Chain A
Amino acid sequence: MPFDDHGKAIAIGKTKGFVKMMASPDDGRILGAAILGPDASDLIHEMIVAIHFRATVFDFVKIPHLHPTMAEILTYPAEELVEKITAARPLAVAR
């Protein structure tokens, strides 16, 4: 996910770089993350906390992220991973 596609980064003119997130295709557990760009050394702490508590991308997308903030960018790869993992599965049926 590039910073030049993120509203807050565009608004403050810091659009170089990207965030990257990796998760298990089996259960969505977050395995790692990389951030290259503005405030990277601060932003990465959210990922450290998530990984410490063995969060999944399904957990992550439920955490409110304020708008407009730089931290909000982390929800984008998480949402994409949720989409990729769930797209490969039949939908759960509740009855």
Chain B
Amino acid sequence: MSFDVAVVQFKPRKGDIEANLAALTAIFAQLLDGPAPPQLVVLPEAALTGYFLEGGVYEQSFGAEAFAARLDAAWRAAGGTRPVDVVCGFYENLDGTYYNSALYATLTGAGARIAHVHRKMFLPTYGVFDEARFLSRGRHLGVFPTPFGTAAILICEDAWHAIMPTIAALKGARLIVIPSASPGRGLGGGGMLESVERWRTLAQMTASEHGVYVVYAGLTGFEGGKGMSGGSCIVSPRGEVLEALDELAVAILRASLDPAEVDLARAALPLLGDLAAVLPDLWADAPGR
């Protein structure tokens, strides 16, 4: 049975959570207006506040329950009467400790159920990035059940470290969702920005090596002279780009994911099973062991 996903390549108004929730409500209404509303809606990293907040994260952060409740209110206001799952990045205030987080929640219109909160583990603090000055890093890479199957969330740089999707897949993930806010950079990407081309390649390599669906949601819009590059895409477990959006487009990406494709891809190219078999030997040889 297929699983319908909508990626919203969102352009926030920086620091204006109310305006962004209003925009999200309109997008929810648009999704509900179609013949087949999606079962999962994926939004980018820091989608409803903008990314480059620096010290503003302390004023634009939420507890996960409170943030999920705001999403649920938007779903209700849009006319949502049946449940929908959502992944959305946000700045989290967990008892006075601040994280760059993303949650997976089911919105019913009468309350939200959180299945998982991932707290970004790799905080870029170089070049234009300054996350570790203002945020704490997550310390756990979890997987969680969804109607599609076991899933994991990796936030932006998390996915640039090959060990992260590898561990997620070894822990059972069949779907890896990547909310991101990636400033566009580099002009040598064969018609794409180099950073978008890198993301596309990375998503394809991750998907095909582990036999997982990869859903990448890129923030778009301009923040302080930096262009968030969008480039959202959905990649099959064989590494095929099923759908993709251009840089800077404010748009919705739709695709149906078939859980059986994961099994077929892994049967055809059993790299994950091979890794699971060899991993104890590799682990014994790891530096510091």
Residues of A within 8 A of B (CB): 58, 61-62, 64, 67, 72, 75, 79, 83, 86-87, 90-95
Contact = CB atoms under 8 A, between A and B. Distances in A.
B248 interface: yes
Contact of B251 (A62, A75, A87, A92): A92
29 contacts: A58-B248, A61-B227, A61-B248, A62-B248, A64-B187, A72-B225, A75-B222, A83-B11, A86-B250, A87-B23, A90-B30, A91-B8, A91-B30, A91-B251, A92-B252, A93-B34, A93-B251, A93-B252, A93-B253, A93-B254, A94-B243, A94-B244, A94-B251, A94-B252, A94-B253, A94-B254, A95-B243, A95-B253, A95-B254
Given A64-B187, A93-B253, 19 more contacts: A62-B248, A67-B225, A75-B222, A79-B222, A83-B11, A87-B23, A90-B30, A91-B8, A91-B30, A92-B249, A92-B252, A93-B251, A94-B244, A94-B245, A94-B251, A94-B252, A95-B243, A95-B253, A95-B254
B53 interface: no
A75 B223 CA distance: 12
A79 B224 CA distance: 12
A64 B27 CA distance: 29
Interface in B204-256: 222, 225, 227, 243-245, 247-255
Nearest to B23: A87
A61 to B, nearest CB: 7
Contacts of B244: 94
B148 to A, nearest CB: 17
Contacts of A61: 222, 227, 248
Contacts, number: 41
Interface of B: 8, 11, 23, 27, 30, 34, 187, 222, 225, 227, 243-245, 247-255
Contacts of B253: 93-95
Name the residue in B34, B225, B244, B248 with the highest tally of chain A Cβ atoms < 10 Å from its Cβ. B225
A56 B69 CA distance: 39
A95 B6 CA distance: 9
Contacts of B11: 83, 86
Contacts of A75: 222
Nearest to B29: A90
Contacts of B222: 61, 75, 79
B105 to A, nearest CB: 22
Given A64-B187, A67-B225, A91 B27 contact: yes
B252 A91 contact: yes
B78 to A, nearest CB: 13
Contacts of B243: 94-95
Contacts of B227: 61
A86 B10 CA distance: 12
A8 to B, nearest CB: 10
A58 B230 CA distance: 15
Contacts of A92: 249, 251-252
A87 B19 CA distance: 12
Contacts of B34: 93
Contacts of A86: 11, 250
A76 to B, nearest CB: 9
A79 B222 CA distance: 8
Contacts of B255: 95
A83 B253 CA distance: 19
